[in-house]
Structures are given as C-alpha cells and as structure tokens.
A and B are shown apart, each in its own frame.
Chain A
C-alpha cells in the first residue's frame, strides 16, 4: 500500500440514456486515505457517476476500477469493503435502530461495535426506537451509522447532511474526521460548499456531464480565480477590475475620482464564487433554488 495507491480510478467514463449523455467522458483518481468531494449542480452527472462507482449502474463505456475491481462485476467480498450512504434514506421495515445496526453488522466480516456506532451518530437515546418513528435528520444519522458499521475502507457519502440542523452537521463533521484519522477513504457529494471545504482534501467539479475542474479545494478554479476584484461606479456605470494589487488600484482610483469613489468595494472571491463561475450561470440558478428549497 503505497502512499499514492489509487482506491478509485476512472478513465473516460461515459453513461448515455438514448441520445442524452448523463456522464460525458470524465476521468479522475481518488487516493487511499483522502476525502474527495464531488461537486456540481443537480443533473450534472454526479449521482450517476457515484452510482456507477457503487456498482448500482452499468456504464456505457470507459474504465472504472474501485478497490482494484470493476464495480459492475464485483463480488460480495468487494461489497464488504465498501460503505454506502445513499442520497435518499428510503424507508425501513418496522425495526429499531439497534436491531437494524446489529443486523447489518452481522453481514460484515469485521464490523464496528454497534453501541459505539450508535453513540458516534448521537442516537444513544433513540437506540430502541423504531426507525420509522424518528425525524428525518435522525433517520439520516441511522443511514450514516449503517454506512460505517462494516468498517469500510471506502465510504460513499451522497449528500449526507441534507436535513441536519447546524449542530448535527458539526457533530457529523467530527465523526467524518474520526473516520479520516482511521484511514478511511471517503467520496463525498454535497451541495454545501463549506462542508466540502471543511472535510475535503480535493474536489472535482462536474457540470453538464464533464469534469470542469479537479484540484485541492483551496486551489479550485486556479490561482487566477481568487484574484481580488475591485468594483465601483463611474459616470453612472458599474465597473470592475481584477487585480493582484487592489490597494494600489484603489489608490489610483482615488487619485482619479476623488477621495470616495461611488459604491467602492474590494472582495476576494469565495469558494462559492469560484464554484459558481466554474459550473456556469445557468447551473448557478439551479443551485440557488436548490439551496433555498
């Protein structure tokens, strides 16, 4: 197991439905022990990609290796090395949290301790409650618990914190950090960029079925995308200028327009600004709705 052993290798992956390409030739690798965030608006091909990696969907073409195996032809032993937290919780039969976790623990060769996992997701007080009687956020935590009960080498988290309150999200992040420190490789999709920034080592941004960028989170979009922007209004017209030396630029503006240029602002693009630039503005509109809803 070298430091840069690839747990996931994807080359020129394509998935088409009729004439429509949901995934249109993407390539990336995920190294052992890293947390890789897959970002992108709804319908960009994120979930399709994830489900191909998890073995749920067949690809149209391209090479895919997950833990050294083609997921579409994988064995039960391969599945035992994965943990999957699906995007939607779905429903569960009439079983309690502890019954569900004990049952799933029994399916894996080297499971974690059931009570420790229940405590890790903060459901100690609900351990004997029927899962269907829990709130949406609590059910999501059961999903996460089921995902990690088998001590996976590779964990898929597909929008894991949707429906969490801020406190639950913080404690979920703490749990993920524990998993990271134990060496778990994690593939995370999320609509929350702060979550990607908190947890991810690297991120890939998918838009329109293509990987538009792939980089460590703090250098997504390239260094140029983070050059500060100066905005002001001159002669009734909005102006802006990207500059690596905003102080000097503002000084030159003042020299030219007087001591208080109209609506002057200087800002450094945030991760969200960089991301929205990457996925393009039509997708940005989708995302806005998504976050608002």
Chain B
C-alpha cells in the first residue's frame, strides 16, 4: 500500500506537468470559469441581484463567483477526467501502463491529484480575479474559509471519482467530448450555475437535488454570498449537512462504479 501511495504521488507530478502543457485543456477546462465569470460580470452589470443587510449592492460578479467556483470543481474533476481517461484508453496510454507494474490505485491517485491541483489553482485565480478586478468582498470569518475548504475538497474528489467512472461510457476517445460535454452542460443549467437556482420551477429544483452539482453550487453560495440571501435557498437554509451527505453518497457511488467498471484495456479490443 505504501508503494501504491508513493507511486501515486509520483503520478500526480507527472499528470500535472503534462496537463499544463496541453494548451487546449488549459483553456477550455482551466480558464473557462474565469472567462465565464468575466462575461457574466460584464454582461449583467446592469442587472439587479439584490442588496446586503447593510444596503450594499450585490454585483453580478459577486453573485456568479460561487457558481463559477462550483463550475470549476465540476470541470476540473468530472469533465476533465472523464474525457482524459477515455482518450488515454483509446490512444494506448492505458495499455502501456497495464503492462507495467503500476498499481491501478496509483493511477487513480494521480488523476484525482491532478484534478485537485488544477482545481485549487483555478479557484485561486477566480478568487483573485473577483477580488481585485470585480471588487467582490471575500469572507473575513476564518470559519467560512474552513467551510469552503471542506466543501471544495469533497466536491473536487467526488467530481473526480465520478469522472473516472464516467470515462468507461464513451466507446472511443473521439466520442468522449460528445458524451461528456452535454451531461456537464445540462447539469450546470439545472443546478444553479448559469441560471439563478431560485428562479427554477420547484420540480426542476427537486430533480437537480438528485445530482451532486446543485449541492456544490449551494455550498459555494453558503460561503461567498451574504447570509441574508439564504432566503432564496430551498427551505431557506444552506443545509450544510445535506451538502456533506449528498456529496458523500455520490463519492461512494462513483467509487463503486469505478471499481466495477474500470478496465485498463477495453474488452475484446
């Protein structure tokens, strides 16, 4: 097991280095939420997102920052890994690894580590942009940052393991984006990433609550939005235990699916 962990750590370094050399993934996965936050902040600059208890106006950037942080968690984990692994399965990378004494656990640690490393950096860039350019007030209470840390870590890990599980669905590397992107897009639309969650019909909110993205977005709002806006949430609560439970269940589901479906090499290839 220590060997699996040691090689897993080695894989993280290898994966992260390769990730940042891929111009297209860096742009479409890593910088995408940054680009979107900028677009939303500029295009909705006249729209009304309410006021804080102190009478400060809630800007579009402030309103969309938690949504974009949640989108980043989804993209760095689920979208990135589902496509990445499906492509590696098709282009021979996994076949080569299968012939080496690399434990499969180390491979997963490498992928989850890559998602975490890139996700953390992405969140950092989003927060800096929001704070410096769009003047979004960030939480001062350390407890809120602790809350951010656990929601973020649980979110990325769950998102990553679901990405690994989803990677066995595309039949080829070429079809991977066609399979993964629509799933990710639909989830973002119904989970309060692109559209205000409180504007969605209640039945759709309930459908979204089955999936993990809604909970990631809600968790991020609980950290970064002023507490008064809790009235817009379902049952007027941030429901932190619900967030932990939903993400935890999806983590286990992803883990079980991964163990059941992951193969180095497609059968009868």
Residues of chain A having any CB pair with chain B under 8 Å: 17, 54-56, 76-77, 79-80, 82, 84, 86, 88-95, 99, 103-104, 106-108, 130, 146, 150
Number of A-B contacts (CB under 8 A): 64
For B15, list chain A residues within 8 Å (CB).
Answer: 93
Residues of chain B having any CB pair with chain A under 8 Å: 7, 10, 14-15, 17-18, 21-22, 88, 91-93, 95-96, 98-103, 265, 268
**Min CB distance, B33 to chain A, in Å?**
22
Q: Are B102 and A90 in contact (CB under 8 A)?
A: no
User: A95 is contacted by which of B7, B18, B91, B265 (Cβ under 8 Å)?
Assistant: B18
**Min CB distance, B211 to chain A, in Å?**
30
For A106, list chain B residues within 8 Å (CB).
Answer: 7, 10
For A54, list chain B residues within 8 Å (CB).
Answer: 99
Given A93-B18, A94-B22, A106-B7 in contact, is the A88-B92 Cβ separation under 8 Å?
Answer: yes
For B17, list chain A residues within 8 Å (CB).
Answer: 94-95, 99
For B103, list chain A residues within 8 Å (CB).
Answer: 76
Q: Are A86 and B99 in contact (CB under 8 A)?
A: yes
For B22, list chain A residues within 8 Å (CB).
Answer: 93-94
For A91, list chain B residues within 8 Å (CB).
Answer: 91-93
Q: Are A108 and B101 in contact (CB under 8 A)?
A: yes
Q: Which residue of A lies closest to B265 (CB)?
A: A56
Q: Count chain B CB atoms within 10 A of each CB in A94, A95, A99, A150 and give the residue with the most.
A: A94
A86-B92 Cα distance, complex, nearest whole Å: 9
Q: Count chain A CB atoms within 10 A of each CB in B7, B88, B100, B268 and give the residue with the most.
A: B100
**Min CB distance, B2 to chain A, in Å?**
14
A92-B15 Cα distance, complex, nearest whole Å: 11
- Further pairs besides A79-B101, A90-B95, A107-B7: 17, Cβ < 8 Å: A17-B268, A54-B99, A55-B99, A76-B102, A76-B103, A80-B101, A90-B91, A93-B18, A93-B22, A93-B93, A94-B17, A94-B21, A94-B22, A99-B14, A103-B10, A107-B102, A150-B101
A84-B100 Cα distance, complex, nearest whole Å: 8
For A104, list chain B residues within 8 Å (CB).
Answer: 100
Given A95-B18, A99-B17 in contact, is the A79-B100 Cβ separation under 8 Å?
Answer: yes
Q: Are B14 and A95 in contact (CB under 8 A)?
A: yes
Q: Are A56 and B10 in contact (CB under 8 A)?
A: no
Q: Are B101 and A76 in contact (CB under 8 A)?
A: yes
For A103, list chain B residues within 8 Å (CB).
Answer: 10, 14
**Min CB distance, B188 to chain A, in Å?**
27
For A107, list chain B residues within 8 Å (CB).
Answer: 7, 100-102
Q: Are B96 and A146 in contact (CB under 8 A)?
A: yes
For A146, list chain B residues within 8 Å (CB).
Answer: 96
A113-B7 Cα distance, complex, nearest whole Å: 19
A106-B99 Cα distance, complex, nearest whole Å: 14
Q: Are A90 and B93 in contact (CB under 8 A)?
A: yes
For B102, list chain A residues within 8 Å (CB).
Answer: 76, 107
User: B96 is contacted by which of A90, A99, A108 (Cβ under 8 Å)?
Assistant: A90
Q: Which residue of B lies closest to A143 (CB)?
A: B96
Q: Are A86 and B21 in contact (CB under 8 A)?
A: no
Q: Are B7 and A77 in contact (CB under 8 A)?
A: no
Q: Are B7 and A84 in contact (CB under 8 A)?
A: no
For B18, list chain A residues within 8 Å (CB).
Answer: 93-95
A56-B267 Cα distance, complex, nearest whole Å: 9
A86-B98 Cα distance, complex, nearest whole Å: 11
Q: Which residue of A lies closest to B4 (CB)?
A: A76
A218-B14 Cα distance, complex, nearest whole Å: 47
A61-B268 Cα distance, complex, nearest whole Å: 16
Q: Which residue of A lies closest to B100 (CB)?
A: A107
User: A86 is contacted by which of B14, B88, B96, B268 (Cβ under 8 Å)?
Assistant: B96
For A94, list chain B residues within 8 Å (CB).
Answer: 17-18, 21-22
**Min CB distance, A263 to chain B, in Å?**
51
Q: Are A89 and B99 in contact (CB under 8 A)?
A: no
A146-B17 Cα distance, complex, nearest whole Å: 19
A92-B101 Cα distance, complex, nearest whole Å: 18
**Min CB distance, A155 to chain B, in Å?**
11
For A150, list chain B residues within 8 Å (CB).
Answer: 100-101
9 A-B residue pairings within 8 Å (CB atoms): A80-B101, A84-B99, A91-B92, A93-B88, A94-B18, A94-B22, A95-B14, A107-B100, A150-B100
